[in-house]
Chain A
Amino acid sequence: MSALEAALLEETALRSRLNALVREHADALKEAERVQVQASRPDADPDLTATAGRWSAVAARLAAELDEHRAKLREQQALVERLKVEDAGG
């Protein structure tokens, strides 16, 4: 496998991971909101507020991971671009 092919493969893997992260982030946000609504009811289990907080923390961690992977994708795109130029130059 050439360096360019390996770089393209890595780019594909990053995009796939980003797809999964976007979904996980959306799910965590939804879950945090759902539990928070339950926690705000008068007869709610007092532990629910903490559970909602944990889901919010998960969402925040996933958001940070998303940013990190987007940055990695940009770096990978730059690498792919450079390898293409090198390839074209012979």
Chain B
Amino acid sequence: MEALVIVVVVLLAGGAAVALARRGRQPERERPPALTPAAEQAALHGDVRRIRPGDVVNHDGTDYIVERTMTFDEGGFTWQEHFLTDQVAGRRTWLSVEDDDGLELAFYERVTGVTLEPGPGTLTHDGVTYERDEQGRASFRTDTLDGPGESGQVEYADYAAGDRLLAFERYGQGGWEVSAGTVVSQHAIEVYPRS
């Protein structure tokens, strides 16, 4: 009987302590869920995953207008290439955005006057030796400010040498188009979306 009384007293004391502790605590403010680093980046610099024609991309002090966007699809895996123009200096470039276990961004410029073709495990261009990274076929569609544009199939092959890239693309029955690129950090890019 004595033991039972002690247990009841201990339980009551415990309950009172919890009640007092609860009364003294400020009501908890509902906190927003923590942002992932990618979402944090998107919020701070504009979302590079959502770039579309008409947006402005600022990189290294230069403003580029997104003229058109090509979306590629290979078995459900998608990536984008945006055609950008610097209206002040007249420069044209491509920005590739690929989310494959992390965001990969690269600026490309078309290489003309070369007779390079993909195939070998390594290729040398402009003194740089590139190793084959990946190759395949994908479907693509193009979007411009005026709406949907061309669509079709593309064959591609990508070569890499550290941060330097060499890309081959062949549309339909056309010849290989060669582009040389450089990987850029997403932190180096600001997006000014069109309204």
Q: Which residues of A pack against B, CB within 8 Å?
A: 8, 12, 15-16, 18-20, 22-23, 25-26, 29-30, 66, 73, 77, 80-81, 84, 87-88, 90
Q: A22-B63, A29-B87, A80-B44 are in contact. Are A15 and B31 (CB under 8 A)?
A: no
In the complex, whether B25 has a CB less than 8 A from a CB of chain A is no
Q: Which residues of B pack against A, CB within 8 Å?
A: 28-29, 31-32, 34-35, 43-44, 46, 54-56, 63, 65, 87-88, 190-195
The answer to whether B56 and A19 have CB atoms under 8 Å apart is yes
Closest beta carbon of chain A to B60's beta carbon, Å: 13
Q: A26-B65, A29-B87, A29-B88 are in contact. Are A16 and B194 (CB under 8 A)?
A: yes
Q: Which residue of A lies closest to B46 (CB)?
A: A15
Q: Which B residues lie within 8 Å of A25 (CB)?
A: 88
Q: A8-B43, A26-B65, A26-B88 are in contact. List 14 more A-B contacts (CB 8 A).
A: A16-B195, A18-B192, A19-B54, A19-B55, A22-B192, A23-B65, A26-B87, A73-B190, A77-B44, A80-B43, A84-B35, A87-B31, A88-B34, A90-B28
Looking at chain B's contact residues, the main secondary structure is loop
Closest beta carbon of chain A to B186's beta carbon, Å: 15
The answer to whether A15 and B87 have CB atoms under 8 Å apart is no
Of the candidates B29, B43, B193, B194, the one whose C-beta lies within 8 Å of that of A90 is B29
The answer to whether B87 and A88 have CB atoms under 8 Å apart is no
The answer to whether A19 and B192 have CB atoms under 8 Å apart is yes
- Counting chain B CB atoms within 10 Å of each CB, the highest count among A15, A23, A29 belongs to A15
Q: Which residue of B lies closest to A81 (CB)?
A: B44
Closest beta carbon of chain A to B150's beta carbon, Å: 25
Q: Which residue of A lies closest to B55 (CB)?
A: A19
Q: Which residue of B lies closest to A30 (CB)?
A: B87
Q: Which A residues lie within 8 Å of B195 (CB)?
A: 16, 19-20
Q: Which A residues lie within 8 Å of B35 (CB)?
A: 84
Q: Which B residues lie within 8 Å of A84 (CB)?
A: 35
Q: Which B residues lie within 8 Å of A22 (CB)?
A: 56, 63, 65, 87, 192
Q: Which A residues lie within 8 Å of B191 (CB)?
A: 15
Q: Which A residues lie within 8 Å of B193 (CB)?
A: 12, 15-16, 19
Q: Which A residues lie within 8 Å of B65 (CB)?
A: 22-23, 26
